[in-house]
Chains A and B, each alone.
Chain A
Amino acid sequence: DAGITQSPRHKVTETGTPVTLRCHQTENHRYMYWYRQDPGHGLRLIHYSYGVKDTDKGEVSDGYSVSRSKTEDFLLTLESATSSQTSVYFCAITGTGGYTEAFFGQGTRLTVV
């Protein structure tokens, strides 16, 4: 299994509070992604990173920011959590040079009350 760890695995937070989710990889892969999974929508890309300090928006980036200061860590921040951000969040990584598939973390279940 690819070395991807997400933390926390579960979190309940109140509306309006900031929340940071962490993704840590031990594979030294270049690309890292944050997705959210909601019933009927499959996986939707929030943000992705193609290198240290290089990030770009996905299709549902509003209300989220990311940072990547080291190859192994990719942080997702909800600046002011809303109930619509209640979801399961997945981190994924891909490499280059033949590492063509995406590897996923176990997910973080976030509930905003």
Chain B
Amino acid sequence: GNSVTQMEGPVTLSEEAFLTINCTYTATGYPSLFWYVQYPGEGLQLLLKATKADDKGSNKGFEATYRKETTSFHLEKGSVQVSDSAVYFCALSDENFNKFYFGSGTKLNVKP
């Protein structure tokens, strides 16, 4: 079956530090991979996506590369800001985009 595993939080960093949030997946076929971000009191927003192996998704300084050989989609940012404090979810969708599977979420706290 399909599943997503991501590192547990919370992750606490100082402003301008390097961020990595690990995500690995199990899937049949050729899933698409996503990172979503949730700010307090809000719904989830798409941060970036990759639809095939070796694709790199990027947005707002965040990046993630679809690695089929390691079944991973780790989220990275070179220099985090206080405004990046949120919960980040890794997700995959099946080939038909009929169902989405989410990780448990990783809370990021960035201190000034």
Contact = CB atoms under 8 A, between A and B. Distances in A.
Interface string A86-97: 000010101010
A102 B98 contact: no
Interface in B47-106: 49, 51, 89, 91, 93, 97-100, 102-105
A41 B97 contact: no
A65 B90 CA distance: 27
Given A101-B49, A104-B43, A105-B43, A40 B98 contact: no
Contacts of B34: 101-102
Interface of B: 32, 34, 36, 42-46, 49, 51, 89, 91, 93, 97-100, 102-105
Contacts, number: 55
Interface residues of A, number: 24
B89 A102 contact: no
Main secondary structure of the interface of A (DSSP, over half): strand
B97 A92 contact: no
B100 A33 contact: yes
B43 A102 contact: no
B100 A41 contact: no
Given A102-B93, A106-B43, A42 B103 contact: yes
Interface in A8-23: none
9 closest A-B pairs by CB: A104-B43, A42-B104, A43-B102, A104-B44, A42-B102, A101-B46, A106-B43, A42-B105, A102-B100
A100 B57 CA distance: 14
B99 A90 contact: no
29 contacts: A31-B97, A31-B98, A35-B102, A41-B104, A42-B89, A42-B102, A42-B104, A43-B44, A43-B105, A44-B102, A45-B99, A45-B100, A48-B98, A90-B44, A92-B44, A94-B97, A96-B97, A99-B97, A100-B32, A100-B49, A100-B51, A102-B44, A104-B36, A104-B43, A105-B43, A106-B42, A106-B43, A107-B42, A107-B43
